A and B are shown apart, each in its own frame.
Chain A
Amino acid sequence: MAKSDCKQKTIAAAGAELSYLKAGKGKPVLVLHEELGNPGWLAWQRQLAETRKVIVPLHPGFGVSPRIDWIRSVGDLANYYAQVMLEQDWVGADVIGFSFGGWIAAEMAAQNPGQFASLTLVAPMGIKPPQGVIRDLFEAPVEQYLAASVKDPASSEEFASLFGGAMTPEQFEHFQDATAEAARLAWQPYMNNPALYYRLGLARDLPTLMLWGKDDAIVPVSAASLYQDAIRDAKLVLFKDCGHRPEIEQTGKFLKKLANHLS
């Protein structure tokens, strides 16, 4: 994991040990990573850290921060992070969640929208798409899931540098850890909470931006309409010729849309 300009910290938080990456100064932006673990310290994070304090907690049980046994659902994990925000004085942060991390962010918003300045969901899981299904992470080799996560694996330099070539033993271990904990929390219902759509009524006025690749083969973009339905002012920006990772596939546009949205 390249983290040349970020620091990894480990703290005691809400009764457990939690590691996170951080960089930059300014108003905090809390970034919740995806189901395959934190992919690295990415170009968009480096740029954002020039003006903002970027905090990326490494989810408990995903290999770096230890598993927390009482957390048995994504709702539990959201509650844990809400407690961490209180303790660390991160309340009022802008929160960005990617895929599985988007689901965590949405659960947090549904529990306590007052904690956030704003919410950004990048191709979030959490709500069952009305058309299509969320791709199964658990029945196929992780390489196939990764390859399906971008429109064109060859044309994205950052994606190739992160995941190109044969899998290293370190990557293998990283994915083993991440998918095991993702399975523990989201095996069934698979990567969604049937109540989330209704519970998001509490977050109906939260300033929310959704960023989604039109060709997302992991989380069908049809789920966006339900999120928009639940969070009534949620804005949706679709990325043409883009898969599940607009932050990697179209970093420039991604950053521009994000900057407009952040407080």
Chain B
Amino acid sequence: MHIATFTERPYGPVPEEEVIRNASFFGVSNRFLDPVKAGALFNRYLDEKLYAEELGFDGVMLNEHHANPFTLGAVMDVEAAILARITRRVKISLMGNPLPVADPLRLAEELAIIDMISGGRLVTGWVRGAGCEQIANNINPTYNRERFDEAHDFILQAWTRDGPWRYEGKHYEYRHVNPWAKPIQKPFPQTWIPSLVSPETAVFAARNRYSYIALATFLPPTMEMWNLYADTAAEEGFQAGPECFGYLQKVVCADTEEEAHELGKNYVYGGGQPAFARPEWMFPAGYNSKAATKRLAYALSDPETNEAVVSGKQAGSGVDVTETRRYNNEVLYESLLRNGQIIAGTPDTVLPKIRHILQALRPGIFSIWHIEGGSTTQEQSMRSMKLLADHVLPQMREWARELDLPAPDEVRPGSRKLPPSGQRDPVCDPGARAA
């Protein structure tokens, strides 16, 4: 099993009342950004990645969002390049580069350079980018899927075909493709595809024999995607295994339960992930197929109450900040704990919950979304990582052996043969009992 650490690298000092009034992190004015504080945060987050390596994590995972205090890393490749130099052992996984908003040739160069500097430790990940990334970069959302597909195919060519050559596609044209940057990993870096349970993405990942990473989505729709991936894999002639699947989970540890929950509430600062961006920004015109829009609403709705946790609250001066803050800290936090979106506690109480996920989803990659943001101090964040590393990771590794959950490094995704019957084996266990 590959165990990584992840954080959104938020701009912690963003005034909570501004986020609440805006009903969204995206859209809060950047007049609240102090570059000195932001610079210190970037350094803190980089230091924590170094610390993760020291503690024995297998990987450090980054992501990218634009124009958003939810994630400072708007140009993730810059951070990845630094990590390529300052870390020695960990994989640097990028979850992921939003292809439709990038210049694919430049991206091919950037990523190849990161792979070269890191000595082949890059894990690339391709994403369509959230709706608001299309708005922030002014990229036509109706061509999102086409641009994704075309950029993906182009980058693989740019990495594998000797130049110079000329490219004329529908959305991109280059008269001179000859990057003096090639990945060390052949034919190209290991690739994981992060997703919020979009069926098209699961099919895409399976067809390309990439691992598929579910980004903290509820377990039932996540298992549906695992099955869709495995069905597609069977069509492609291979048996999907744990090496094909990864899961991102918010986990915070402290020395006492009380401390862990106090700390865990920073996950719902400003409304947390559900307040990432308002629906009109998440789903701009033409961004999703109608079917995908419906599926996403289901994936991010609370299975107990069927309430959409993606948003639904409208912005405006009428918003009661105090009441919303209370709601987030009490009702929202409790509900995210109850439905397993957040795991918080001492190592002893955290472990059975992780065991349940490992049994149910059988992932070969597990990424811990560690606590940041709000009032989280660096000491608290690092203490949580230390407790996890000392008391949780060893047990997870043991379970991974017991449950046979190999990482993509151990078993190459797409390399397992289908059973002689031609019928694929199950890839998850919906019957696994909750802790």
**One of B86-94, B188-196, B277-285 contacting the partner:** B277-285
CB of A188 within 8 A of CB of B138, answer yes
CB of B140 within 8 A of CB of A137, answer no
CB of A183 within 8 A of CB of B138, answer no
CB of A184 within 8 A of CB of B280, answer no
Among residues 181 to 198 in chain A, which have CB atoms less than 8 Å away from a CB atom of chain B?
181-184, 187-188
Contact-residue size bin, chain B (C-beta under 8 Å from the other chain): 10 to 19
CB of A184 within 8 A of CB of B143, answer yes
CB of A181 within 8 A of CB of B280, answer no
What residues of chain A lie closer than 8 Å to B141, measured between beta carbons? Answer: 138, 183, 187
B340-368 vs A: 1/0 string, CB under 8 Å?
Answer: 00000000000000000000000000000
B146 shortest CB reach to chain A, Å: 10
Most buried by A among B135, B142, B143, B284: B142
Residue of A nearest to B284 (CB): A138
- Asked if B290 CB lies within 8 Å of chain A CBs, one says yes
Among residues 269 to 290 in chain B, which have CB atoms less than 8 Å away from a CB atom of chain A?
279-281, 284-286, 290
CB of B135 within 8 A of CB of A176, answer no
- Asked if A89 CB lies within 8 Å of chain B CBs, one says no
What residues of chain B lie closer than 8 Å to A173, measured between beta carbons? Answer: 290
What residues of chain A lie closer than 8 Å to B285, measured between beta carbons? Answer: 137-138, 176, 179-180, 182-183
- Asked if A140 CB lies within 8 Å of chain B CBs, one says yes
Q: Which of A140, A141, A180 is B142 in contact with, Cβ under 8 Å?
A: A180
What residues of chain A lie closer than 8 Å to B281, measured between beta carbons? Answer: 139
Q: Which of A140, A141, A183 is B140 in contact with, Cβ under 8 Å?
A: A183
What residues of chain B lie closer than 8 Å to A183, measured between beta carbons? Answer: 140-142, 284-286
What residues of chain B lie closer than 8 Å to A140, measured between beta carbons? Answer: 280
B423 shortest CB reach to chain A, Å: 38
What residues of chain A lie closer than 8 Å to B142, measured between beta carbons? Answer: 180-181, 183-184, 187
Residue of B nearest to A178 (CB): B285
What residues of chain B lie closer than 8 Å to A137, measured between beta carbons? Answer: 285
| Bound-state Cα–Cα, A182 to B141, Å | 11
What residues of chain A lie closer than 8 Å to B143, measured between beta carbons? Answer: 184
Residue of B nearest to A144 (CB): B280
A residues touching B (Cβ–Cβ < 8 Å)? 137-141, 173, 176, 179-184, 187-188
A/B interface sample: 26 pairs, CB < 8 A: A137-B285, A138-B141, A138-B284, A138-B285, A139-B280, A139-B281, A139-B284, A141-B279, A141-B280, A176-B290, A179-B285, A180-B285, A180-B286, A181-B142, A182-B285, A183-B140, A183-B141, A183-B284, A183-B285, A183-B286, A184-B143, A187-B138, A187-B140, A187-B141, A187-B142, A188-B138
- In order of increasing CB-CB distance, the 4 nearest A-B pairs are A180-B286, A179-B285, A184-B142, A187-B140
